[in-house]
Copies of this chain bind each other. A is one copy, B any other.
Amino acid sequence: MTEHSATTSAAAEPATARGEQTRQLILDTAMRLFRERGYAQTTMRAIATEAGVAVGNAYYYFASKEHLIQEFYSGSQAEHRNRSAQVLRRENDFAARLRGVLHAGIDVNAPYHSFAATFFKTAAEPTSPLSPFSAESSPAREASIALFREVLEGSTAKVDPELRRDLPELLWLAYMGVILYWVHDRSHDQTKTRTLVDGAVPLIDRLVGLSRLRVVRPVTREVIALIHALRH
């Protein structure tokens, strides 16, 4: 499963109302137990029992235990967009918009911090479909990048036109960095991650502003060329 993926016996999309209901029941039960006991301490048997179905039934709808988490992932992403929309409507300063969206991302995920670690563990594995870089999560990634495109485009920021095209992806990458820090953040209520955001945003803002200066321009070009060469 690790070295060769692809064999994932794709779980079924429910085709009937009954199916949809069962799927939702299993998912809700799983999420509840994950929150109550943690991911590792929640067995598939426990989920099935609590949901009142057979173990195999869970595997009819979800290819694996980890795939149960992917659901929460896309759910939280939608919620992230919602909460960001408020800030984006209010602000038009680039730094304020970026800061708002980053904080919104933390807000949305905060309730799951305790088992986000487990999710992250899987996501970090390159062959995993849950990896934020994988083809399988490409739609989710694109949606997230689109959010940062909106941060930029709705703002008054003046940016090197060539950088403008790639900046949303870079901001998304920075967001991934924030998440990475957040996952490891053991401080109370993850306040340190807030500090990181509040400290990093002005720096990014200044950097982006500088990108247009004639002296810095060549460096900007260099960076852009590099990330183009590195993209998959």
Residues of A within 8 A of B (CB): 1-3, 38-41, 114-115, 117-118, 120-122, 124-128, 131, 133, 181, 183-184, 186, 192, 195-196, 199-200, 202-203, 206, 219, 222-223, 225-226, 229-230, 232
What CA separation (Å) do A219 and B199 show in the bound complex?
Answer: 11
Interface centre among A3, A192, A195 (most CB of B within 10 A): A3
What CA separation (Å) do A172 and B202 show in the bound complex?
Answer: 24
A122 neighbours in B (Cβ, 8 Å): 121
What is the CB-to-nearest-CB distance from A162 to chain B, in angstroms, rounded to a whole number? 16
What CA separation (Å) do A183 and B133 show in the bound complex?
Answer: 12
Nearest-CB residue, chain B, relative to A2: B40
A115 neighbours in B (Cβ, 8 Å): 2-3
Do the beta carbons of A192 and B121 come within 8 Å of each other? no
Do the beta carbons of A124 and B121 come within 8 Å of each other? yes
A127 neighbours in B (Cβ, 8 Å): 117
What CA separation (Å) do A199 and B125 show in the bound complex?
Answer: 25
A133 neighbours in B (Cβ, 8 Å): 184
What is the CB-to-nearest-CB distance from A92 to chain B, in angstroms, rounded to a whole number? 25
A38 neighbours in B (Cβ, 8 Å): 2-3
A124 neighbours in B (Cβ, 8 Å): 120-121, 124-125
What CA separation (Å) do A87 and B199 show in the bound complex?
Answer: 36
A183 neighbours in B (Cβ, 8 Å): 126
Do the beta carbons of B120 and A195 come within 8 Å of each other? no
Do the beta carbons of B125 and A120 come within 8 Å of each other? yes
A-B contact pairs, 20 of them (CB 8 A): A2-B38, A2-B40, A2-B41, A2-B115, A3-B38, A3-B40, A117-B125, A118-B125, A120-B125, A121-B122, A121-B125, A121-B128, A124-B124, A126-B183, A126-B184, A192-B229, A199-B226, A200-B226, A203-B222, A203-B226
Given A3-B40, A203-B226, A206-B219, 16 more A-B residue pairs with CB atoms under 8 Å apart are A2-B38, A2-B118, A3-B38, A3-B39, A3-B114, A3-B115, A117-B127, A121-B121, A124-B125, A126-B183, A126-B184, A133-B184, A192-B229, A195-B230, A199-B226, A203-B219
A39 neighbours in B (Cβ, 8 Å): 2-3
